[in-house]
Amino acid sequence: MRIDAAIKNGTEKLSESSSSARLDTELLLAYCLGKPRSYLYTWPDKTLNPAQQESFLRLLTKRQSNYPIAYLTGHQEFWSLNIIVTPDVLIPRADTELLVETALEKIAKLEKPKILELGTGSGAIALALATERPDSDIIATDISAEALAVAEKNKQNLSIRNIRNIQSNWFQSIPSNTFDLIVSNPPYIDPTDEHLMGAIRHEPIQALTSDNKGLSDIEHIASNAQRFLNNGGWLILEHGYDQGELVSNILAKAAYQQISCLSDLSGNDRINVGSKR
């Protein structure tokens, strides 16, 4: 099978299950060939060897069931970083880059800021912050040992030296020191939400859902974070598109100041920010 024929075949196979059938096909084919996507257009007449063709067809079949591209290739780009992902971690999403941008703004004038990330997963947020602020001291936590193994591998692959990965159930195992910034993209989906039946169902459920209509973990973090924040320190939380006002109220109830809700590029409420008095 030639490359151009493989692209046509794959696009046809995925057209009913994916709104990005051609892109998905090209990503999977480039992965099987070990080449960038540009190679597909430069050498459309190249023929796949039997192993490449078998691998490509197998991945197409899995993709037809909405299995995420990132899990099939083992990688996802975030903040221009090549992040390793496995089914043990959430797939980093572009919307979460708003959290990174806002965090960098809040610590812009601080020297050697101390940062805590809760629920690091693949480590994407901590890695982005560490890359932009190599002078920072970052602790990244997760309750999952499997997730921490992925985060640690990403840290090593990117030669990051200013992150410590710690297994912890939220604040349970955090050292007694305080931080200038605490960030988290916690579970915030209602366990009964119909979206869990889509492609997201392949991602780790414990990193997606939270009790009390998706707000339980956010409430826990908000009520405990101030003990670990320096005066004037910031808490930044990602949340669902319909939870902006609810999370603002949670932060207000927990006595945070300068509370604001920021929208992502799609115009949806995405993160809430508050500072310690």
Please check the confidence at residue 181 and state whether its pLDDT lies above 90.
yes
Rounded CA separation 98/103 (Å): 8
168-182, 198-212, 224-238, range with greatest mean pLDDT: 224-238
Residue whose token pair is 């780009």: 77
78-275 classified as CATH 3.40.50.150: yes
CATH of domain 3-65: 1.10.8.10
CA distance 179 to 188: 24
Q: How confident is the model at residue 199 (pLDDT cuts 50, 70, 90)?
A: low
For the cut 90, the answer to whether the pLDDT of residue 215 exceeds it is yes
Write down the number of H helices and E strands in the chain: 11, 9
Residues 56-93 pLDDT 10s: 999 999 999 889 999 999 999 999 999 999 999 999 99
pLDDT mean across residues, the chain? 94
Residue 146: CA count within 13 A, CB half-sphere: 9
Distance CA 74, CA 268 (A): 28
- Ordered by start, the domain boundaries in the chain are 3-65, 78-275
**Mean pLDDT across the stretch 27-48?**
95
